[in-house]
Amino acid sequence: MKRDASHGAGRDVRTVRITDVARAAGVSPSTVSKALNGSGSLREATRERVRAAAEQLGFVSDAGARALSTRRTFIVGLLSTDNVGRFSLPVMLGAENALSVGEISTLVATARRGSVQEQHHLRTLVARRVDGIIVTGKATDPREPIAVPVPVVYALAPSTDPDDMSVVPDDAAGMRLVVDHLRTLGHRRVAHVGGRPEHRTSQVRLASLRASLAEAGMELVGEPLLGEWSEPWGRQAVDLLLRRGGDAAERPPMTAVVCASDQLARAVGDRLRERGVRVPHEVAVTGYDNWQVMWEASRPPLTTVDMDLERLGRRAAERLLAAITAEPDGGFADSGTELVPPRLVVRGSSMADD
Amino acid sequence: MKRDASHGAGRDVRTVRITDVARAAGVSPSTVSKALNGSGSLREATRERVRAAAEQLGFVSDAGARALSTRRTFIVGLLSTDNVGRFSLPVMLGAENALSVGEISTLVATARRGSVQEQHHLRTLVARRVDGIIVTGKATDPREPIAVPVPVVYALAPSTDPDDMSVVPDDAAGMRLVVDHLRTLGHRRVAHVGGRPEHRTSQVRLASLRASLAEAGMELVGEPLLGEWSEPWGRQAVDLLLRRGGDAAERPPMTAVVCASDQLARAVGDRLRERGVRVPHEVAVTGYDNWQVMWEASRPPLTTVDMDLERLGRRAAERLLAAITAEPDGGFADSGTELVPPRLVVRGSSMADD
């Protein structure tokens, strides 16, 4: 780890001065200043020689940092998929708001992931000399990294390279909140209805559900039912669950159904009611997303998990700005995946108010 | 109306030449060229004098047009409201796609309509020297125009100034399509369930419904039921409609319910089914929006109107580009409100397939 020269009072840290760079490059200190600022009229060969000497010696000057800052355009690119995304939209809004507070403008570019159009957009963003790029996807499935000469942060959909900067919702924590809530209410037998099994979201939520139930000494009733992200599938899944219970006159085999989305939870609640099962008195239902259109229309309204996607967007913007303003020789301030904690929203589908 | 000089073969049109401007400004023709191109090193006073002379004489040169074009940044601003909008998102995507095809980048800025933040965003966009601005709202309620020195197009939410360029969905045409469809199917008695009565959308759709029904010799059953844009209101409205019918054993007073949104139509369908009314056999239901989440979950899926909002966004971008590239003295190529035609999508809620 590189020691910070500004704190380097100790003898072992040698502070590199502008005169050291000048001597190494065989030029005057003012030439060093000009070369690193990109100002003045120097031959490119001289400029290069100074830069090489500065880099070799590990020279960092306030002037250099300022020069770097003046070379910024204060424009950030926002690359998004062209699928209309109710998940990516709040992320984009959160990022744009955080950036605009910092007087930074946002160039948007939407294209199908990995498409020729996406490559075209990236070239345009780089040609416009954006200071950095935020990449969002429509879901949390990892995507291949983009190759650009500026800092990049992946929001919602992480990069497949774990060393890249990614900001994603903490779905494992979300499922732990749900299980903890149900455990507190006394539930012991829980069924699971989820969406497409190949989606990262499905896998992370199910794995966390299993682990959390096991830890709490609760039972996952039967096989988890993964299918589609749609209401017809949610209704179908209820029929499958009640069939499992055997005789229709018997009580349902579970006291709660944990769903991987509000859309599914809404349909599960509808179908349970149609089959004569009272929610939440006989079976509690929980969703995921805190999507108003769905939780509000459900009878009763849904207990669910809010991923706080606007905050996720803000965090992505904050990390990008940190990387942009990082010292030129210090690499990026941080890397790796950051998890944004969710919160549980309790409503009538799990707790009756009568 | 100003005659176009390029067609001005007639004696009455005096073509202003660069030498005329040079004489009026007391400089050489090459100085005029430099001054209008923004090129060369001239004193600002000279440049100003030439510009004033050119403007006074109504001088338009090819060089001037080119200069104007080279002064473009090929960046367009997209000002949107900060409400997460399932209507404004496709508009924004359509606009961004159309602009990117033209190698134009899009700067986004979101803020509450008329807020201090919106003013700040507008100043930033102008300071970035955008070529023009597209303003979108979250619904079709008119908004006060913005004051900027570049061309502006209002998309979805029109400007309150009818001379501004606005592109909005043709909701009156949408309701005509619905009524025509129901008339063809033999319906004569139609009820209406809508959202918030103060919204422009509610008013335009209801007025068109009334006019279309009258023209078709069909009856609007009772007062139209306007309330909220929510499923609970849609369900409530059905209870009100069936109460109107008097005795519960009687048939419903209408053979079709025309709803002002898919969300309402979905709830109306659900409640009719719960009350034992078969859709579409006893009562047909139509929606508005072609919102997949809603039409797909409905039983049966919804007949509805698609406003083609991506096309609306594209049209806004096309009109903005036309205004940006219009001749400097010609004003904007066109002004006024453009209506984007909708299309009817027929599904099971109005036509049974058995």
Residue B124 sits in a domain of what CATH number?
3.40.50.2300
pLDDT in the model for residue A64 = 39
Q: Does residue B52 carry a pLDDT above 90?
A: no
**Which residue from B302, B242, B233 is spatially nearest to B276, judged by alpha carbons?**
B242
Give the span between the Cα atoms of B235 and B271, in whole angstroms.
5
Q: How far does Cα A107 stand from its chain's mean position?
A: 19
Residue B89 with chain A: CB contacts under 8 Å? 84, 89
Q: Does residue A131 carry a pLDDT above 60?
A: yes
Q: How sure is the predictor about B31, in pLDDT bands with cuts at 50, 70 and 90?
A: confident
pLDDT in the model for residue A325 = 85
Q: Does residue B244 carry a pLDDT above 80?
A: no
A98 in any annotated domain = yes
Q: Would you call A84 and B90 a contact, using CB atoms and an 8 Å cutoff?
A: yes
Q: Does residue A353 carry a pLDDT above 80?
A: no
Report yes or no: B97 at the A interface, CB cutoff 8 Å: yes
B120 and B191 both lie in a single domain? no
Q: Which of A51, A70, A89 finishes a domain? A: A70
Report yes or no: A232 at the B interface, CB cutoff 8 Å: yes
pLDDT digits (tens, 9 = 90+) for A136-168: 988 889 999 999 999 999 999 999 999 999 999
Q: Does residue B101 carry a pLDDT above 70?
A: yes
A15 and A136 both lie in a single domain? no
The per-residue pLDDT of chain A, averaged, comes to 86
A183 in any annotated domain = yes
- Other CB atoms within a 10 A radius of the CB of residue B116 amount to 9
The mean pLDDT of B136-161, rounded to a whole number, is 93
State the burial class of residue A150 (Cβ atoms within 10 Å of its Cβ: 0-12, 13-18, 19+): middle
Q: Which of B54, B70, B86 finishes a domain? A: B70
B190 and B287 both lie in a single domain? yes
pLDDT in the model for residue B4 = 37
Q: Does residue A66 carry a pLDDT above 70?
A: no
Where is average pLDDT lowest: A296-310, B56-70, B189-203, B290-304? B56-70
B179 and B279 both lie in a single domain? yes
B102 in any annotated domain = yes
How many residues in chain B? 354
Q: Which residues partner with B192 through β-bridges?
A: B258
Residue A74 with chain B: CB contacts under 8 Å? none
Q: Does residue B37 carry a pLDDT above 70?
A: no
Q: Would you call A93 and B82 a contact, using CB atoms and an 8 Å cutoff?
A: yes
B297 and B217 both lie in a single domain? yes
pLDDT digits (tens, 9 = 90+) for B264-275: 999 999 999 999
Q: Would you call B78 and A108 a contact, using CB atoms and an 8 Å cutoff?
A: yes
Structure tokens that stand for B299 in this block:
């039983």
Report yes or no: A337 at the B interface, CB cutoff 8 Å: no
Where is average pLDDT lowest: A251-255, A326-330, B212-216? A326-330
For A292, nearest residue in chain B (alpha carbons) = B230
Distance between A105 CA and the closest CA of chain B, angstroms: 7
pLDDT in the model for residue B291 = 94
B297 and B175 both lie in a single domain? yes
Instruction: Give the DSSP letter of residue B336.
Output: E
pLDDT in the model for residue A122 = 93
Query: Which amino acid is it at A275?
Result: R
Q: Does residue B41 carry a pLDDT above 70?
A: no
A178 and A303 both lie in a single domain? yes
Residue B122, classed as helix, strand or coil, is helix
Could you tell me the CA-to-CA distances from A114 to A119, A130, B197, B323 in Å, in that order?
7, 20, 45, 34
Residue A90 with chain B: CB contacts under 8 Å? 84
Where is average pLDDT lowest: B42-46, B151-155, B317-321? B42-46
pLDDT in the model for residue B251 = 79
B43 and B88 both lie in a single domain? no
The mean pLDDT of A285-309, rounded to a whole number, is 96
A351 in any annotated domain = no
Residue B21, domain CATH? 1.10.260.40
Q: How sure is the predictor about A112, in pLDDT bands with cuts at 50, 70 and 90?
A: confident
- Domain span at B92: 75-168+310-341
Distance between A132 CA and the closest CA of chain B, angstroms: 14
ipTM surpassing 0.90, yes or no? no
Question: What are the backbone angles phi and psi of residue A145, rounded to the nearest 5°?
Answer: -70, 155
B86 and B118 both lie in a single domain? yes
B95 and B145 both lie in a single domain? yes
A195 in any annotated domain = yes
Across the interface, of B90, B108, B267, the residue whose CB is closest to A106 is: B108
Q: Would you call B86 and A82 a contact, using CB atoms and an 8 Å cutoff?
A: no
A354 in any annotated domain = no
B209 and B287 both lie in a single domain? yes
Q: Would you call A107 and B75 a contact, using CB atoms and an 8 Å cutoff?
A: yes
Count A/B contacts: CB-CB distance under 8 Å: 82
Residue B90 with chain A: CB contacts under 8 Å? 84
Q: How far does Cα B135 stand from its chain's mean position?
A: 9
Give the span between the Cα atoms of A152 and A149, in whole angstroms.
9
A50 and A108 both lie in a single domain? no
pLDDT in the model for residue B9 = 34
pLDDT in the model for residue A246 = 57
Q: Would you call A110 and B96 a contact, using CB atoms and an 8 Å cutoff?
A: yes
Say how many CA atoms lie within 13 Å of B112 toward its Cβ. 2
pLDDT digits (tens, 9 = 90+) for A11-46: 233 456 778 888 888 888 778 776 765 555 677 788
Q: Which of B18, B35, B70 finishes a domain? A: B70
Q: Which of A84, A128, A129 to mutate to test the interface with B (most CBs of B within 10 A)?
A: A84
> Domain total for chain B?
3
Q: In chain A, which among 258-277 make CB contacts under 8 A with chain B?
A: 263, 267, 270
Q: Would you call B100 and A84 a contact, using CB atoms and an 8 Å cutoff?
A: no
pLDDT in the model for residue B11 = 29
Report yes or no: A116 at the B interface, CB cutoff 8 Å: no
Report yes or no: A325 at the B interface, CB cutoff 8 Å: no
